[in-house]
Structures are given as structure tokens and as C-alpha cells.
Amino acid sequence: MIFYLFVIVVLLFLSFAVLWALSPAKIKPVLNENGKPPPNSLSEKIHVPINGFPMGFFIQSKDINNPVLLFLHGGPGLPEYFITEQYPTGLENDFTMVWWDQRGAGLSYSPNIPPASMTVEQFIEDTVAVSNYLRQRFHKDKIYLMAHSGGSFFGIQAAARYPDLFYAYIGMGQMTYQLKSEMLAYVYMLEQYRANGNQSMLKKLQKAAPTLEGPLPRAYDLIRDDAMHALGFGTTRDMLSIVSGVFFPSWLSPQLTLTEKINLWRGKIFSRNTLRDTMFATDLTQQVRRLNLPVYFLVGKYDYTCSYQLAKEYLNSIDAPVKGFYTFENSAHSPFFEEPQRVRLILQEDVIHASNLLADKY
């Protein structure tokens, strides 16, 4: 028994040592075609006081004179900057790209954050405060706001309330009414697992049936991501496991310290427990119906995490001066990871010029 305990202790020590070595927190520079940082480039990891708490950012830019693009990550509580190490977006070449870890998440996690402060209103006010900080720091009248998945729940509300802060709102994997989206995904998953003969997953889904009333059943919540990713309509089309595609890469990121990696997942759990039920139960299609700025939805054809069809119907119902819906034929939930060149083209040609020439025609 003592020998086995010794082996376990040694293995734990070695694992910790390996993770420590893989966590130098060395920030990746922005480089030009010659492999050198351009004169006006920026690549930094910083903390800034926002509404009483220090919040963390990765900011990358090939030229800080470029427009500023603030990104609201999904989850709730799952920053996405580290995923760009596997799926580079290239957005830092066109914008001063701001990857903000929202309250209670990643670089912005702290055990001192009161759970009572994790509210929709607080997240909207945090978004406003961050936007004003960026406007002042980079000397911009307005910035662009891009939100993904869970971040789009707060992003579209912030854009609707404070249109004077933003040139445009870009929703990707846009949330609408998430409980309804989950039901559509559930029905589709049953069809797919019946068709491919996976009786084990089919029985698990049937036993854990979600409903449109109240929070999602815990049993369904536990298998949802696995079931979606195995069918190729989770985070990306080629990411068949959330563990191998997100969890393990987060621990391998050289740009995070070991403490930051631990806090990434502490923040994910904390944010989920304080925010998710409210986010899923809110019908944005009834709550946000008009935006006084250009609105763009970039949605993967295979997105069942946040329903493609519901997003399309939602944008049709929104009153806005300019609207554009863009179907990504080879994407699931994350077009900027899956088809980054087309995302950049849309931003360069349509969003920057407040037009919708490249949008779907329907």
C-alpha cells in the first residue's frame, strides 16, 4: 500500500512539473511577413479595473491605428483566446483585437467575486465600461462589438441599449431562445443516432429528455456536449470531443500560467452555476427587437449549439438600419475558427462599410 501511494505521489508531482513547464505565460507576438513585429503592433496580456474588479484581456494588433474589435466569449464563462492557437482567426491583422475575459471567467476569475454580482445587468454594464476604456485608450469614437455563443446573449442587449458606442454588432452562433434551441437540437440528435445505429447514446438522450419548462435536466446537461460533438455540430465540425478539442488544449497553452489555467476551469464552473439557467430561459426574440446600428449574424449551417434556423428567423424579425445574415456552409458553431478567411472578408467588405453586399440573398 505504501508503495502504491508513493507511485501516485510521484506521478502527481511529475504531472504538476510538466504542466508548470508548459505554462511559461509567454505572449505570442504579432508578426509581419518577415517574421518581425511591425512598428505599431501590440501583443499583451493585461488586467484593468472594471466596475470594481480587475479583469483580464489579451489584446493583439498588427497596427493599433486599426479599428477596435471587442470580442465577448461564450460559455458562459469560457474564454476562447487559447483556442486561436489551434484555430487562428487572423483578425489581429485587420483590427485591434480585444479578447476580454468576462467577469468571473478566466483571467477575470476571483473567488472574491460575489455570486450576486453575476447578473445580466452587471454583464451589460461591464461591457459598457470595457467599451469606454477601449475607446479612450485607442482614441476611437466607436468600436466594433463581436459576440460568440453565450457572449451574444449579453452582446446584443448591450448593443441595443448603447448603440452610440458601437459601429456595428456582429453575432456569431447567436443565441435566441436557448431552451427552444436545445429542443430542436435534441430532436435532431435522436434522429441522427437512430440513423447511425448508436443505441447507447440514443438511450442516454431519451432517458435525459430536456423540456421547455425550467432548467435543463442535469442528466441531459452532462451528455449534451459529447452527443453534439460526436455528430460534428459542436464547437467546430472537426472537433469530435470537447475534451480533446478544448479541455486538453487549455492546459497546453504556453500563454497562460498554471494558476490561470486552473482559474479558467474554476471560472467556467462558477459562471455556469450563476448564469446559465437565466440565459437559457430568456427569449431574446421578445426582449430585443430593434437595434439602432448595423447588425450582422455569422452562423454555421451545422450549428445546433445555438440553432442556425432560429438565428435566421430572429434576424428577419429585428428592426435595424442595416442587416446581414451569412451562412457558413462548412461550419458548425464557430465560423471564425472554421472559415476564418471568409469571416475576415465579410468584416472587411461589409461590416467596415456598413453594407450587406455579401449577405445571403433570401
Q: How far apart are CA 325 and CA 310, in angstroms?
A: 12
Tell me the DSSP string of 20-77. Answer: HHT----PPPP--TTSS--TT-EEEEEEEEETTEEEEEEEEES-TTSPEEEEE--TTT
Tens of pLDDT, residues 178-212: 999 999 999 999 999 999 999 999 999 999 888 87
Give 24's pLDDT tier (boundaries 50, 70, 90). low
* Per-residue confidence band for 26, with pLDDT thresholds at 50, 70 and 90: confident
List Cα–Cα distances, 332 to 69, 84, 190, in angstroms.
Answer: 22, 16, 18
**Domain architecture of the chain: domains with CATH:** 45-178+249-351 (3.40.50.1820)
What Rg, from alpha-carbon coordinates, does the chain have? 21
Sheet holding 68-72, edge to edge: 42-50, 53-61, 96-100, 68-72, 143-148, 166-172, 295-300, 323-328
Q: Does residue 171 surpass a pLDDT of 80?
A: yes
**pLDDT tens across 87-128, in order?**
999 999 999 999 999 999 999 999 999 999 999 999 999 999
Mean pLDDT score, 208-222: 86
pTM: 0.93
Chain-centroid distance of CA 113 in Å reads 21
In angstroms, the CA 146 to CA 327 distance is 17
Whole-number Cα distances in Å, 211 to 122, 217, 221: 28, 8, 12
- pLDDT for residue 12: 36
How far, CA to CA in Å, does 85 sit from each of 81, 213, 299?
8, 39, 22
332 and 302 in contact (C-beta within 8 Å)?
Answer: yes
Sign (positive/negative) of CA torsion 206, 214, 303, 97?
A: negative
Contacts of residue 163, Cβ cutoff 8 Å, sequence gap at least 6: 291, 292, 293
Helix segments in the chain, DSSP class H: 2-21, 120-137, 150-161, 178-196, 199-207, 218-230, 242, 248-252, 258-281, 284-287, 308-317, 335-338, 340-346
What is the reported pLDDT for 86? Answer: 94
Q: Are strands 143-148 and 96-100 parallel, antiparallel or unpaired?
A: unpaired
Tell me the DSSP string of 225-242. HHHHHHTT-SSSTT---H
User: What sign does the CA torsion over 337, 339, 345, 347 have?
Assistant: negative
Reply yes or no on whether the pLDDT at 29 is more than 60.
Answer: yes
